[in-house]
Amino acid sequence: MGGADGNGVLPDIKGFIKSSFLDWDGMVVSVIFLPGCNLACRYCHNWSIVAEPTVHPTIPWSVVKEHLVENSDFIDGVCVTGGEPTIHDGLPNILRELRSIGLRIKLDTNGTKSNVLRGLFSEGLLDYIAMDLKAPLDQRYADIVGPCDIEAIRESVCLILESGIGHEFRTTVVRGIHDHSVIEAISSSVTPEGNLVLQQFVPERARDADYRKILRFERDELLSLAAAARPFVKRVVVRGI
């Protein structure tokens, strides 16, 4: 564990970006990376922090906190990402620490820990949430991520939509997996109140060697997939074109 502060034991921090313009639309944020994950996505682009967290030095919370406090006028918020942050019992503690500094908080999640999300929402610890929706909510999900609890993912979708905070559901689109019918099935699970982001797959960073050979979609193809999603959701954004 990454130590303790006024709010209890904190998870290890395995990466820290001081300022990013890319991780929360329209905001300047710092980014905190927590290790490990309960899934094993074949296209994971951050596999080292998932599978080999010990090779990454732990960054003391005191160092992160000092930077955040000193730059709280410049930074709009903090993005907590991973790996999968919700697997850590100490996640609420680090979010409370961020709150005590007065920072806005975005969480990236794979949505498999709906019980954790429920607690974070009820305590008002999040201002924005980005949840992966990797496939239609059926047996096709496990083809990409390995064994997973589809009902928990479905419940997380509902919790996010009910929470009223800013959100996005994100699908990394992979040639050979995500075609128009798959995108329609994913976006229909988001409901008309949901925001969907289709993001470009980065083959060279994929965990699975077979995935590294897949050609990424062209711009026109991505826009066409976005058009397939548009009738089902409130808003569609394409990233990485």
Q: How many of the chain's residues bind ligand SF4 (CB under 6 A)? A: 12
Q: Which stretch binds ligand SF4 (CB under 6 A): 57-65, 80-88, 114-122, 187-195?
A: 80-88
Name which position in 10, 44, 95, 157 contacts ligand SF4 (CB under 6 A).
Answer: 44
**CA neighbor of 43 nearest in space, from 222, 229, 184, 175:** 175
- Asked if 200 is part of the footprint of ligand SF4 (rule: CB under 6 A), the reply reads no
Nearer Cβ to ligand SF4, position 81 or 195? 81
Residues in the chain: 241
- Asked if 37 is part of the footprint of ligand SF4 (rule: CB under 6 A), the reply reads yes
The CA-to-CA distance between both ends of the chain, in Å, stands at: 38
Nearer Cβ to ligand SF4, position 145 or 222? 145
Helix (H, G, I), strand (E, B) or coil at 187: helix
Cβ at position 134, least distance to ligand SF4 in Å:
8
Report yes or no: 111 and 131 within 8 Å, Cβ to Cβ. yes
Name which position in 32, 34, 50, 133 contacts ligand SF4 (CB under 6 A).
Answer: 50
Cβ at position 71, least distance to ligand SF4 in Å:
27
Residue with structure tokens 């999968």? 84
Residue with structure tokens 């994971």? 44
Name which position in 2, 11, 53, 83 contacts ligand SF4 (CB under 6 A).
Answer: 83
- Asked if 41 is part of the footprint of ligand SF4 (rule: CB under 6 A), the reply reads yes
Nearer Cβ to ligand SF4, position 75 or 174? 174
Residue 9's beta-bridge partner residues?
4
CB burial class (10 A; 0-12, 13-18, 19+) of residue 39? buried
35: left (phi over 0), alpha (psi -120 to 50) or beta: beta
Report yes or no: 12 and 58 within 8 Å, Cβ to Cβ. yes
- Asked if 156 is part of the footprint of ligand SF4 (rule: CB under 6 A), the reply reads no
Name which position in 35, 53, 77, 82 contacts ligand SF4 (CB under 6 A).
Answer: 82
Cβ at position 112, least distance to ligand SF4 in Å:
8
Report yes or no: 206 and 44 within 8 Å, Cβ to Cβ. yes
Q: How far apart are CA 14 and CA 35, in angstroms?
A: 6
Q: How far apart are CA 110 and CA 96, in angstroms?
A: 21
Q: Which stretch binds ligand SF4 (CB under 6 A): 21-29, 42-50, 59-67, 179-187?
A: 42-50
- Asked if 177 is part of the footprint of ligand SF4 (rule: CB under 6 A), the reply reads no
Name which position in 12, 23, 84, 97 contacts ligand SF4 (CB under 6 A).
Answer: 84
Residues that bind ligand SF4 (CB under 6 A): 37, 39-41, 44, 46, 50, 82-84, 110, 145
